[in-house]
A and B are shown apart, each in its own frame.
Chain A
């Protein structure tokens, strides 16, 4: 890709920030101008979170506008639905097949929509992955982010080793190997 507008969405605490930073730094190493926008503070506490990554020759605003997203990476299916309208006509959704009830659903004030993936598939290109099972197979459920990133990386571009170089310097040293394996698992799928 010569330029891209990417969104990483999920539930606060799922690790959207780290994933975005890996994407941003991979683009930076490839010589692009890069901007990222993150969410800190109260919104992080289990709320809906969104991070934007934009790269290209020259990037102005650090956010992606509705109608301009090339890729929507979501760690949770309801969050994919919440932000799907940001996509371009031919944009793609990479979604981790996981369902987390928001408190509004837990207390019965609202209900969790059914058949989300099917509904999204009617309007958009969609690529679904079971990140948790893949991560559990590797023995650490926390590396599901790297599985999802691996799946997304194929659509974003850059070489596999360029991604791996950034993962090595971004994730905690003790978890480098398992994160690389998780990335490979997503990438290879």
Chain B
């Protein structure tokens, strides 16, 4: 079966510094790919290149049978099929939650407002925020904002959802309420590319894990194997940095 997304040998540099040095990646329908790696390895840039927030310097990106890496004029049509959620939520502060949700479906997709509203309400209910429909974003907690942002992206019925460190700005106790929504989406068959620092979440949600370093994919594999027994030394070191090897010797 043909992949939904096909990234072919893309390159990207900022001010002469290579950030992506030939990255290739296929994502198939219903697949959840998690990208991990040290900060600055290019994983966020990879996601931003996929939906054209950054222009690539070389290579190609295909969404099904359409080459999207050279779309200039019609990029907004491509983006209607690729949802993205960021670390900083980026809800529109001047709009109520419901208006945030309806903007894309009614303006970009030109769907009838009442139909879109019914669906939005349904999805708000599913993430436990039905009573917040008329609230302004600033009255929500970080976890609530991020759940609204996820619903906002999903209401566009994207073929692919990109999640860029969506729990990085959250207080620890709010992380799971957001990640549970993502796991729920994965169960429903949503195709996703996820950048995260939450290793246990990565293990739980991924069909495939990519480990990136210095602009290239160093290792790729099923989560069970990758997290138990990474093949490369660099991945092993990276995973070890999430555990504390030493304990205090003279603790009282």
Bound together: no
Q: Which positions in A face B, CB cutoff 8 Å?
A: none
Q: Which positions in B face A, CB cutoff 8 Å?
A: none
